[in-house]
Amino acid sequence: MARISSVPWSSDWIADSWAPIPPDLQWARWGSGQPGQGVHGFVEDWRLESLARGSFGGLGRARTWATEPDFSVTAGMPRQVQEWQVYRARYCGDLLRKLGLEVLPVLTWTGLDPIAWTAWGVRPGSAIAVRGPGRDSEEQDGWKRGYLQVLEAIAPSRVLVFGLASRVVGCLDSTGVAWVQVPLRRAVSRSACAFSSTLEVGASA
């Protein structure tokens, strides 16, 4: 796949994931501190800036899986900025792989058409992670068009859809590619909240 032109691309980067994804894998948001083997980067861009600078404070403990950060790439951005955001996602993924994590490439394409270039650096056949669309019908239509372009560009073996996949489930099912929905946030149990409150009281005593 041709590389994008305006960023310092490294031929040593391998943006792919071939390991079997455990069916009971729990995902925590980057910077949340929640337990889980996996940590995902589908959060606000500002929360990911420290990772782009090589800081892993938002990683959390005992992680074995991660997604690349989902830096915003939208139609209103200049093309150079769009390419920079994709580059940063691949760069951060490489940093996480060097820590020994299994890292899923992230593709994002809000409002873009064509979007195949945003798959730059992702090896065909890899499992990938994407964010599901919002409530707007035009956004959902654009998501579907982009998703089909992604499949044509890299033919992923499996797709993790972070967020609500129910809005595009027909599109997902029609392609024959294995996919699974992952919630962006995990509910915190009452017992966990009570335990956290106890710790806070104890710390202030």
Q: Which two tokens stand for residue 141?
A: 């239509």
* Res. 6: pLDDT tops 90: no
Q: The tokens of 160 are what? A: 């993790």
Please state the rounded mean pLDDT for residues 166-178. 94
**Per-residue pLDDT tens over the stretch 81-131:** 988 999 999 999 999 999 999 999 999 888 777 787 888 889 889 999 999
- According to DSSP, the residues that pair with 22 across neighbouring strands are none
pLDDT at 190 > cutoff 70? no
The domain limits of the chain are: 27-204
- Assess whether pLDDT exceeds 90 at residue 42: yes
Q: What is the mean pLDDT of residues 38-47?
A: 95
For the chain, where are the E strands, in sequence order? 27-29, 38-41, 65-69, 102-104, 106-107, 128-131, 158-162, 178-182
Residue position matching structure tokens 């455990």: 22
When the pLDDT of each residue in the chain is averaged and rounded to a whole number, the result is 83
**Angle, CA 20 vertex, CA 100 and CA 116 arms, to 5°:** 85
